[in-house]
Structure 1
Amino acid sequence: MVNIAVLVSGGGTNLQAILDAQARGDIHNGRVSVVVSSNDKAYALERAKQAGVPGVVRRKKDYASGAEYCRALAQFLQEQDIGLIVLAGFMTVLDEEFCKNFENRIINVHPSLIPSFCGDGFYGLHVHEAALEKGVKVTGATVHFVNAITDGGPIIAQKAVAVEPDDTPEILQKRVMAQAEHILLPRAVSLFCEGKLSVSDSGIVSISE
């Protein structure tokens, strides 16, 4: 059984999608054992509490440097015997050392079809604002492994979502969450826990049945 840590900073809708999938029995050979928030006021902590999952707060500003924060977070996760880390709206940058310590064991969901609208500065509503400004007709979400390059890790899965003529960033965000993020992320978590994901030397993810 793989112990899963979900890292959050806000409302926790993607955390909820994972918790709901777990309650349905759709997360095979894994369980969410802890939720870590960088924000002590994040509603995601209430979602964890309601699901009976321990929630802890680790704020970057409580540490002398980003590197110290990442080392302390890594030590905590190792003490919890965490096999998979899921970033679900986690707004704190994890440094290269942290990413190497958990290489191919950190999964993130990004609200676009990478390589479009990704990288530094592209997060939350900014992604959907950029998509609408560009006039794209299709957007979506990507689940990928995390490395030291922002949104640059190996892609696990993607799902396209249509952009409608009267979309606002907020409306598009909700559609991408419902039609892509909340579907892709729990599925990727289960595949990882089942040992069905492998990454080649060239960074291509293979999924076995």
Structure 2
Amino acid sequence: MNLAFLASHGGSAARHLTEACRRGELQAAPVALVSNNSRSPALAWAQAAGLRTAHLSSAKYPDPAELDAAILDFLQDAGADTLVLSGYMREIGPRVLSHFAGRLLNIHPSLLPRHGGRGMYGDRVHESVLAAGDTESGATVHLVTAGIDEGPMLAQARVPVLPGDTLDTLKARVQAVEGDLMLRAVQALAAQAAVRATP
């Protein structure tokens, strides 16, 4: 499995998975990272970590179809066969979606299908959980499809919503489980790929 990442900011999932690969916990090779943000910490980190990197955004490619094609060309050239969204704040184009169908993963900071869909990202998700009075939240790893947060769920981790929780305390509790949850989901995907590849 050759992993690539799309990131807009810190790229915590990319870092966690890359470290797991290098510790031997994940039988995969991290190969590339694309960011739509030239100043993202993820881009600087990936360059230092030896991944192939590219800044590809609507500033360079105002036509969404051209941006979609540029991202796919870069990822194919890097040899990526599995794509992980690591805090990527843009919609995925149809060519990338089609090429990586079944091998394109995202993590969402709630227990989908609750608090998902268009406009539900980052702090907005945790605010929605608190406003709803939910007693638990968590994170969900799912396959990415054309519908926002609608792809098949691969794994979930649950955390309690405690009395007196604020946006920051709930977010920290959810973020604490996200890295290992994504790792387990990618490990399972890698195991399935290995079984399919066995003659």
Stretches of structure 1 lacking an aligned partner (at least 5 in a row): 199-209
In structure 1, how many angstroms separate the alpha carbons of the residues matched to 2:166 and 2:63? 37
For the 8 Å contact 1:60–1:92, the answer to whether it is kept is no
For the 8 Å contact 1:142–1:157, the answer to whether it is kept is yes
Instruction: Report the equivalent of 2:2.
Output: 3
Aligned residues: 195
Instruction: Report the equivalent of 1:165.
Output: 163
For the 8 Å contact 1:129–1:169, the answer to whether it is kept is yes
Shift of 1:196: 5.4
Cα-to-partner distance string for 1:119-171 (whole Å, 9 max, x where unaligned) = 10001111001101111110010001111000111111111111122222122
For 1:134, give the aligned amino acid.
A
In the TM superposition, what are the counterparts of 1:178-189 in structure 2 within 5 Å? 178-179=176-177, 181-189=178-186
Moved more, 118-127 or 92-101: 92-101
- The one of 81, 84, 103 equivalent to 1:83 is 81
- Determine if the alignment matches structure 1 residue 53 to structure 2 residue 51: yes
In structure 1, how many angstroms separate the alpha carbons of the residues matched to 2:168 and 2:65? 34
Query: Which secondary structure state, in structure 1, belongs to the residue aligned with residue 76 of structure 2?
Result: helix
In structure 2, how many angstroms separate the alpha carbons of the residues matched to 1:197 and 1:76? 25
Cα-to-partner distance string for 1:34-86 (whole Å, 9 max, x where unaligned) = 11111011111232234332322111221132122112111221222211000
C-alpha root-mean-square deviation of aligned residues, in Å? Answer: 1.7
Query: Which secondary structure state, in structure 1, belongs to the residue aligned with residue 147 of structure 2?
Result: coil
In structure 2, how many angstroms separate the alpha carbons of the residues matched to 1:78 and 1:93? 19
Question: What's the TM-score, normalizing by structure 1?
Answer: 0.87
Query: Which secondary structure state, in structure 1, belongs to the residue aligned with residue 110 of structure 2?
Result: coil
Instruction: Report the equivalent of 1:17.
Output: 16
Q: Which runs of 4+ in 1 moved over 4 A?
A: none
In structure 1, how many angstroms separate the alpha carbons of the residues matched to 2:149 and 2:120? 9
For the 8 Å contact 1:142–1:158, the answer to whether it is kept is yes
Q: Percent identity?
A: 36
- Determine if the alignment matches structure 1 residue 34 to structure 2 residue 40: no
Question: What's the TM-score, normalizing by structure 2?
Answer: 0.91
In structure 1, how many angstroms separate the alpha carbons of the residues matched to 2:61 and 2:73? 14
Stretches of structure 2 lacking an aligned partner (at least 5 in a row): none
Instruction: Report the equivalent of 2:191.
Output: 194
- The one of 61, 64, 84 equivalent to 2:62 is 64
